[in-house]
A = this chain, B = another copy of it.
Amino acid sequence: MHANENFTRYMEIGIDSFVAASIDRKTGQATKPARQLRELLEAITLADEVGLDVFGIGEHHRLEFLDSAPAVILAAAAARTRHIRLTSAVTVLSAADPVRVFQEFATVDLISNGRAEIVVGRGSFIEAYPLFGLDLKDYDSLFAEKLDLLLQIREQTHVHWSGKHRASLNGDGVYPRPVQNPLPIWLGVGGTPASFARAGALGLPLMVAIIGGEHRRFRPLIDLYREAGLRAGHSLEKLKVGIHSLGYVADDFTTAAPDFFPGYAKSFTEIGKERGWPPVTRAHFDALLTPTGALLVGDSETVVEKILQVNEALGGISRLTFQMSVAALPHEKMLRAIELHLGDLVVGFAKSFPDVHRELHRVNVLGNVVAVELSIQGTFRGPMETPAGVIQPTGAKVDIPCADFFYMRNGKIERFDCYPAASIMLKQMGVLPDFASAVNRH
């Protein structure tokens, strides 16, 4: 059973993999790369069967990972699956040609019949820069320019474009065109405020990697994203937030942590050598397992509870992915985690709110979150408890470009978030929320 059956379907659950390689430290070679790709495809197939929403493949250009060509791996996954969405996590766009990226993912989209997505980012590692002849001093301009081009190619087949880091396009056509129009493009971010603001301004869904510390410290950045988005005139429906987490669900908490720790410690200690971090200790790991810590590791109940808290702390999230590759789990444990635990989680969610996935733009009571998405034409259908009393559903159509979130606990509002940009807009429109009058009116 799940900690909270009212958890909503509108949060998609998925897995991200970096396709970690087994390395023979003597020879410096990957010891069984073909087998690891085969096991990865088994895991994706199983994730599809148990109903997970999305599977992501990272992009790295180093010995430790087998994912330098994510679209190639995703195409293989597309040929073996039926429902699951397939995404990069992330495509290192700064080092890529946006034309090729679009062509590759459009092809995956055709093969999967409309299930491809791209998460673009600047990459966490920097080995792609020397490999593709790029200068780290162009870190930001490379990304900004290439993202601009990618979005233009998504928008239209024949593009006129010129920039500093890539040859001009003079109306040349980019083929094939994908099934989905627009092909979903997310912006993957770490902790750089400007990245959050950029994603908002462009109206792109946001994928936030939270791999350490506490989730809630990202709230101001996510607010910045939503504010920038609303200010730029994008609807909240478009301004989705997803979280890429390190996580693993096992039969019980006392199994999960020891399963996860050794690989996790090894991976982060290795990365730490390059980045000047101290070696990972068990105490450090344990701190991340506490209710507010970043790791989603434990039994189903613990993890679901934690996801609900993340959802609250971050003002509502649309997608959450578990990255387990860091732990280098044995294949059987990976499959068990997918089949028994993540699968259950998703099934539980779907039972409670089967249709809400496509109804995000209405006034809805979603378990413990009441989301009033006034930005889209919606209908006020559910009773809403406010500090001033219950607002009865009116069936009224609403069409206002802003959004409010009410966080409930035991049927009462615990917190109320009104996004600044929205408030300003509402004010301009003369429709500031007035709970008392609403309560009295009905």
Residues of A within 8 A of B (CB): 21, 29-30, 33-34, 37-38, 41, 61-63, 65-66, 68-69, 71-73, 75-80, 97, 99-100, 103-104, 106-108, 110-111, 113-114, 127, 130-134, 166-170, 172-177, 179
Contact = CB atoms under 8 A, between A and B. Distances in A.
Copies in the complex: 2
Contact of A75 (B65, B72, B97, B173): B72
B37 A131 contact: no
17 contacts: A29-B177, A34-B111, A34-B179, A62-B175, A63-B173, A66-B107, A66-B176, A68-B175, A68-B176, A76-B78, A76-B79, A76-B111, A97-B132, A127-B172, A130-B172, A131-B174, A132-B167
A194 B79 CA distance: 40
Contacts of A108: 72
B110 A66 contact: yes
Contacts of A33: 110, 176-177, 179
A103 B92 CA distance: 14
Given A75-B76, A107-B66, A113 B175 contact: no
A399 B174 CA distance: 53
Contacts of A61: 103, 173-175
Q: Tell me which of A71, A114, A174 has the highest count of chain B C-beta atoms within 10 A of its own C-beta.
A: A71
Contact of A62 (B68, B72, B104, B173): B173
Contact of A69 (B37, B71, B114): B71
A69 B177 contact: no
A128 to B, nearest CB: 10
Nearest to A59: B103
In the A-B complex, the 8 residue pairs with the smallest Cβ-Cβ separation, listed nearest first, are A133-B167, A76-B79, A79-B79, A75-B75, A68-B103, A75-B76, A69-B107, A72-B107
Contacts of A166: 133
A66 B175 contact: yes
A127 B173 CA distance: 9
A382 B33 CA distance: 42
Contacts of A68: 103, 107, 175-176
A131 B71 contact: no
Contact of A111 (B37, B174, B179): B37
Nearest to A131: B172
Given A62-B175, A76-B76, A177-B29, A69 B104 contact: yes
A65 B114 CA distance: 19
Contacts of A66: 107, 110, 175-176
B63 A175 contact: yes
A127 B132 CA distance: 23
Nearest to A60: B175
Contacts of A177: 29-30, 33
Contacts of A167: 132-134
A113 B63 contact: no
Nearest to A173: B63
Given A69-B100, A76-B78, A132-B99, A110 B173 contact: no
Contacts of A113: 34, 38
B69 A103 contact: yes
A235 to B, nearest CB: 28
A328 B282 CA distance: 62
Contacts of A103: 61, 68-69
A38 B61 CA distance: 31
A172 B125 CA distance: 14
Contacts of A71: 69, 72
Nearest to A135: B167
Contacts of A69: 71, 100, 103-104, 106-107
Contacts of A175: 30, 61-63, 65-66, 68
A83 to B, nearest CB: 15
B130 A170 contact: yes
A106 B19 CA distance: 14
A29 B63 CA distance: 42
A99 B172 contact: no
